[in-house]
Amino acid sequence: MHSAHPSWNRHRGVASVLAMMFIVLFGSLAATMAVVAQGNMRTAHAALRVSRSLSAAESGMVFAARRLQRETARFVVDRGVVDDGYGERLWFGTMTAADGAVTLLDPDGYSVPDPSGPGLMHVIHDAHLHADSYPVVLDEGSVVSLELDEVAGSITVPPIRIGTDEDDPYVLLQYELLDDGRFVRVTSVGVDHGIRRSIQMDFRIQKQIEYAVLAPNRIMIGKNVLVEGPIGSLYGIQPGELDPVNGDPLVLRSDFFDLDPLVLDVQLNILHQQLSLFDVDGDNRLRPDHPVEAEGINGYAQLQDHDGNEYIDDFDLFLGVYDVNSDGLVVYDAVQADAAGLPGLIDEFTVDMQLASLIDKGVPDRDGDGTVVAGGMDQSLGYLDGVLDARDLYGKVHGRLVFSVEQGAWEAAHGAGWQTIVQGPVRAPGTDSPVRFLVEAPELVEVTTDMFLNATNWFEAESMTGVAFGDDSSGQVGSNLDAGGGAEYHEASTQLHESMPLGSNGAYDWYQRPVYREMTFTNVRIPSGTNALFEECTFIGVTWVEIEEDCVDPDWNYAGAIEPDGLGGYTERFPGMTADAGATTYADTRIVSNNIRFHDCTFLGSVAGDRPGEFTHWRNKLQFTGNSRFYVDPADPDLAGQPDAASIQATLLGIDEADRQELAKSSVLMPGWSVDVGNFDNDSSTRVKLTGTIVAGVMDIRGTALVDGTLLMTFRPSEGEGPLFYAGTPDAFNTTIGYFGPVDGDGEGSDPSDPSFPGFGEIILRYDPDALLPDGIPWPVSASAEPGSYWEGR
Amino acid sequence: MARRGFNLVEMLLATAITATLLVAVMVSLDVSYKAYRATTESTSTSVVGRVIMERLQGLIRNGIDFAPLPGSLSGTTFESSFLDIQRPDGTWVTIAWDAATSSITWTEDGNTHTVLEGVTQLPEGALGPVSPFVLEYHLGRHLHRATIDLSVVPDVEQHLDIEGDSEFIHRLVGSAMPRNAAWSN
């Protein structure tokens, strides 16, 4: 249609131009806004995907770590140290006879019908194959399958979706052994819509017994004992073990009893009762701000958080009684406090200086830098500063409590909450639960004496390098006598009979011992039947104690036992009783056993011995009495206070360094033996210092001692077996650390009210995560993250 | 009679209408443009802030040593205007808030550059002022967790009367635990 008026077309043209200009203008602006906004949204979306992919990678790393740790723990090995070569052989499954026994435990929760090989890499591969199920997830459109490269030693795992939705991110894992065969590297790549983020971390294959104490017999830890490490109890799972007459899996005695019977003891009893009713996490502390635990405090004005750490425990009650001026500090050594930068204080606590010192020097590496520096930051954080306060981080146990027993069964047998007998705060590190029950292998493994029977170890070989023990005219004994000095030898027939246990009113046997005095032995093997008293002797290197290992005859303990006849002589306790070892019959088994007492002896090395086939607490027993000293490190700071420090250091430096490292792996390696250790003088300056993995059947440590390593007990007492063949109950054989007095039912314990009471002693059991294990202890290997190796890629 | 054009009244009326429309359009356009700029800058600031936060958190996750340490050894948590981070290769990076220039700076090998501008503190009140770094230590010197709390004002003229003249502040909060510490437990 055409316009009727010619000028109208011109007018419409002008309007059209204007309209188009506006359209272009606004359109361009709108488009620009849309493009920029879209760009921002894409940037935001990309940032979100980066975050999601990184989170997926971290989830993958946690999964891989769990898989690696579970499967590694299936390898139970005799060899003590996983070095470069052994780690590689474990990974590839090329172990040799020289590596000792390697036992692969069954997988947990799945089965492997066709194992791909004997190595750790095979086991991890098989676990991914059989324990996991993988819905097919394409990685950037490609299929990735589970692959084991047996030449390179790497495992590639197909994509694992983090979630159930198709849009959820997924993760790719790879394991590979590094050139240093102790380390496995895990690479985890998280992918979210094309955005990939990778993280990497190394895991170390090693063998560690992560306990300060581990025992299949009941563990009794007394007053003035601090445990810096986990405690593992395997007791209470065999039929009858939980009968009240047989004792409890663990007894922890509060350090603060017997200081103030009228006030503090009463308060402690109230606290322990309330803990058994209201402590929900089992750390033996009540939190005033916790809805349940706070109920345990209501109505008890004396239960207050005096140290301000938001918990109420035994230490708070101690502060409440002895912090006279309510400044949060209990001063026990004002002079030391002044030197530590706390001037003008007055002593407030003098009742038990050993306890005060024990608490003040507990957890010495306060800043966690791996070293303890006198006068440095550790002291600024409360270490040995003459006062007791929150900075001392007091805990009866710095670690978790791990039990095989079921909590309810134990408490039902005991007739009360377990916390009525397990006293003192338990400070578990990080997110660890303070207490766990019903724990099984591989976390809690029972090591028996039988496991050592065929094990070879460095100590036995080293002991054979020395000269024979000899007699008064030959061997090391003869050499000592020939050298003159103060060396003495006295035949057994010239000595008085000694009760067993020493000084006991109810002795079950008597020994007439030969005496070796002021002698020095180097890498010596003490022959069976020596049954000696060594006084003021020095033992260098390995001291190996020989016995007849075939001592399983139930009469072994009793054949040849004697007792006073009332006429000044001794008579057979069990007339006519004999015991057999193979085809040989013995009327007195002591001639092929060894019950030895070391008094005031110095050990510059280790004590080890043959493995008895059965625990025989009379016949095969070591007692360390008097001022017993153990040193293996020439730079040991405890040496400084010794009058003969220079001589000891020179002797230690004379031992090959590699040998010293082996010796440090265990001060006492006596599986199946009864061992009593302690400085019974309670002299804190001459404490017994044991290092490494201390192995015994049962052990008794009293007085002043530092155990820097692990106490590993091997004997599980059972009624009708071994020393309980004829009579008796398992509670007679336990691991006892520290002071127990008459009020605790210990008839041999000294009474604090006695004027001659020597003190409660001072003992620290400190787990050393860096300690190297000796060969011959069957224990699972582990894979531990090396936090410093964490690496985040692109 | 043929019409030759608009008369004066028509012209004046048309001009007035056009002028009014143009003014209205331009005002509208200006408001829209400012709103667009504000939104874009705000979004951009948010995105850039998020990227910076992610970078800082990555530094903390990968760091092996940190400063400052607690002033009181018994104290474990404190606030700071800067954070020193040692990377696994041993080099140190300092992330600091410069109050004078309202910016977050990155210092490495003695060279300092700005990574985020417009960083301020929340005013005194229920929430403020909030320090940019809250450091939680364990055993006197081991960083357990670091929290970064930044209040960022986008760098643009945003005083829009139609929006009540309110200042638009982004609060970026992130927290990270060094993996060194996380995997040590």
Q: Which residues of A touch B86 (CB under 8 A)?
A: none
Q: What is the mean pLDDT of residues A695-712?
A: 91
Could you tell me if A19 lies within 8 Å of chain B, comparing CB atoms?
no
Q: Select the residue of B47, B74, B140 nearest A40 (Cβ to Cβ).
A: B47
Q: What is the mean pLDDT of residues B13-26?
A: 87
Q: What is the mean pLDDT of residues A528-538?
A: 97
| pLDDT band per the 50, 70, 90 thresholds, residue A788 | confident
Are B64 and A788 within 8 A, CB to CB?
yes
Residue A296: closest CA among A258, A283, A251: A283
**H-helix segments, A590-706:** 645-653, 657-663
pLDDT at residue A136 is higher than 70: yes
Are A381 and B73 within 8 A, CB to CB?
yes
CB A435 within 8 A of CB A404: no
| pLDDT band per the 50, 70, 90 thresholds, residue B69 | confident
Residue A333 CB contacts under 8 Å (≥ 6 apart), including other chains:
A347, A353, A356, A386, A387
Q: What is the pLDDT of residues A483-512, one digit of tens each?
A: 988 999 999 999 999 998 887 777 889 999
Q: What is the pLDDT of residues A141-180, one digit of tens each?
A: 788 889 999 999 999 999 999 888 888 899 999 999 999 9
Best of B54, B139, B142, B180 to disrupt the A interface (most A CBs within 10 Å) is B139
Query: In terms of pLDDT, which residue wins out, B61 or B49?
Result: B61
Q: What is the mean pLDDT of residues A760-775?
A: 88
Query: In terms of pLDDT, which residue wins out, A408 or A143?
Result: A408
pLDDT at residue A527 is higher than 50: yes
Q: What is the reported pLDDT for A443?
A: 83
SS3 at position B26: helix
pLDDT at residue A430 is higher than 80: no
Q: What is the pLDDT of residues A220-269, one digit of tens each?
A: 999 999 999 999 999 999 988 998 888 899 999 999 999 998 999 999 99
Q: What is the mean pLDDT of residues A262-281?
A: 95
Residue B61: closest CA among B183, B172, B178: B178
Q: How far apart are CA A765 and CA A677, in angstroms?
A: 13
pLDDT at residue A639 is higher than 60: yes
Q: What is the mean pLDDT of residues A92-119?
A: 93
Query: In terms of pLDDT, which residue wins out, B64 or A23?
Result: B64
- Scanning every residue of chain A, which has its alpha carbon at the shortest distance from the alpha carbon of B33? A29
- Scanning every residue of chain A, which has its alpha carbon at the shortest distance from the alpha carbon of B37? A33
Residue A281 CB contacts under 8 Å (≥ 6 apart), including other chains:
A433, A434, A435
Q: What is the reported pLDDT for A511?
A: 96
Q: What is the pLDDT of residues B163-180, one digit of tens each?
A: 444 556 778 888 999 988
Residue B79: closest CA among B134, B120, B124, B127: B134
What 8-state DSSP symbol labels residue A452? Answer: G
- Segment of A25-29, A432-436, B126-130 carrying the highest mean pLDDT: A432-436
Q: Which residues of B touch A787 (CB under 8 A)?
A: 179-184
- Segment of A16-30, A427-441, A482-496, B29-43 carrying the highest mean pLDDT: A482-496
Could you tell me if B86 lies within 8 Å of chain A, comparing CB atoms?
no
Chain-centre distance of CA A601, in angstroms? 28
Q: How far apart are CA A34 and CA A21, in angstroms?
A: 20
- Scanning every residue of chain B, which has its alpha carbon at the shortest distance from the alpha carbon of A391? B74
Are B183 and A47 within 8 A, CB to CB?
no
Instruction: Find the helix packing angle between A264-278 and A314-322, rounded to 10°.
Output: 150
pLDDT at residue A657 is higher than 70: yes
Q: What is the reported pLDDT for A295?
A: 95
Q: What is the mean pLDDT of residues A657-671?
A: 92
CB A606 within 8 A of CB A668: yes
Q: What is the reported pLDDT for B132?
A: 87
Are A40 and B50 within 8 A, CB to CB?
no
pLDDT at residue B131 is higher than 60: yes
Q: What is the reported pLDDT for B163?
A: 46
Q: Select the residue of B73, B138, B183 nearest A785 (Cβ to Cβ).
A: B183
- What ipTM did this prediction achieve? 0.76
Question: Which range has the worst mean pLDDT, A480-484, A599-603, A785-789?
Answer: A785-789
Percent of chain A with pLDDT over 70: 95
User: Residue A17 carries which side chain, given as an amino acid letter?
Assistant: V
CB B146 within 8 A of CB B179: no
Q: What is the reported pLDDT for A388?
A: 96
Q: What is the reported pLDDT for B166?
A: 54
Q: What is the mean pLDDT of residues B72-85?
A: 80
